[in-house]
Amino acid sequence: MNVIFLGPPGSGKGTMAVRVGKEMNLAHISTGDMLRAEMKAGSELGKLAKSYIDKGALVPDQVIIDMMGERMKADDAKGGVLLDGFPRTVAQAEALDAIAAIDAVVNLEVDVQVIVDRVLARRVCEDCGEVHSTKTHSSDKCGKCGGNLITRADDNEQTVRERFRVYEDQTAPLIEFYSRRGLVSNVDGTMPIEEEAAYIVEVLKKV
């Protein structure tokens, strides 16, 4: 089974993808994580991606498509994938059709102010990438590996609101694109984490 998670930045796609991916034995593929790894490594792709991400803009389609095409060839992707952060445009979705058949699309619905509050409270481990929230985790150390927690450079209100605007302009049309195929399930992205994950698993089991 190949599943896409849609939802504005900060809607919880990553958190849900990890939990649902483990439950359903699907490879979790996050373009955000892949790009951040490239940026941390200082590669040419990383430098290019950073110039767009720091402005709250989307990385060009062809860059993402080429990267995803290679990732989908990996052994762990052969049993099914859960795509988090890709596709982000209709052009990417059309290119994805040539790479893999999509069985379901989960659309997380969250208001922009909720997202702003979440992102401003978000802290990320600079060692293992684990995400924490100051609302539930008071330490400045990672609860998973003990590494230092940092605030991403693009985790500020101005950039978050710009990313939301870009999402609505360029990514929201994907909902219509996949709705025409009868693949979209809308999910309240403000539910408690465990409840939301369980609900999504049940939805996907019916596909």
Domain that holds residue 185: 2-110+173-205
pLDDT-derived band of residue 137, with 50, 70 and 90 as boundaries?
very high
Report the pLDDT value the prediction gives residue 55, as an integer from 0 to 100: 84
* 152 in a labelled binding site: yes
Residue 86 lies in a domain: yes
Is 18 domain-assigned? yes
Known binder of ligand: residue 59?
yes
- The structural domain count of the chain equals 1
Task: With a cut of 80, say whether residue 58 has pLDDT above it.
Answer: no
150 lies in some domain? no
In one-letter notation, the amino acid at residue 174 is L
In a domain, 144, yes or no: no
Residue 67 lies in a domain: yes
- Classify residue 117: in a domain, yes or no: no
The reply, when asked if residue 125 is annotated as ligand binding, is: yes
Is residue 186 a part of any domain in this protein?
yes
**Catalytic annotation, pick one of 50, 88, 118, 123:** 88
User: How high is the pLDDT of residue 21?
Assistant: 94
Give dist(CA 8, CA 111) in Å, integer.
9
Would residue 122 show up in a list of annotated catalytic residues for this protein? yes
Question: Up-side HSE of residue 100: CA atoms within 13 Å toward CB?
Answer: 25
User: Considering 13, 19, 50, 123, which one is annotated as catalytic?
Assistant: 13
Query: Does 165 participate in catalysis according to the annotation?
Result: no
Q: For residue 190, how far is the Cα from the chain centroid? A: 16
d(CA 132, CA 149) in angstroms, rounded, equals 8
On average, the pLDDT of the chain sits at 91
Q: Which of 50, 118, 122, 123 is catalytic?
A: 122
The enclosing domain of 184 has a CATH number of: 3.40.50.300
pLDDT digits (tens, 9 = 90+) for 85-120: 889 889 899 999 998 999 999 999 999 999 999 999
pTM of the model: 0.80
Span 187-199, pLDDT tens digits? 999 999 999 999 9
Residue 118 designated active-site: no
Residue 153: inside a domain, yes or no? no
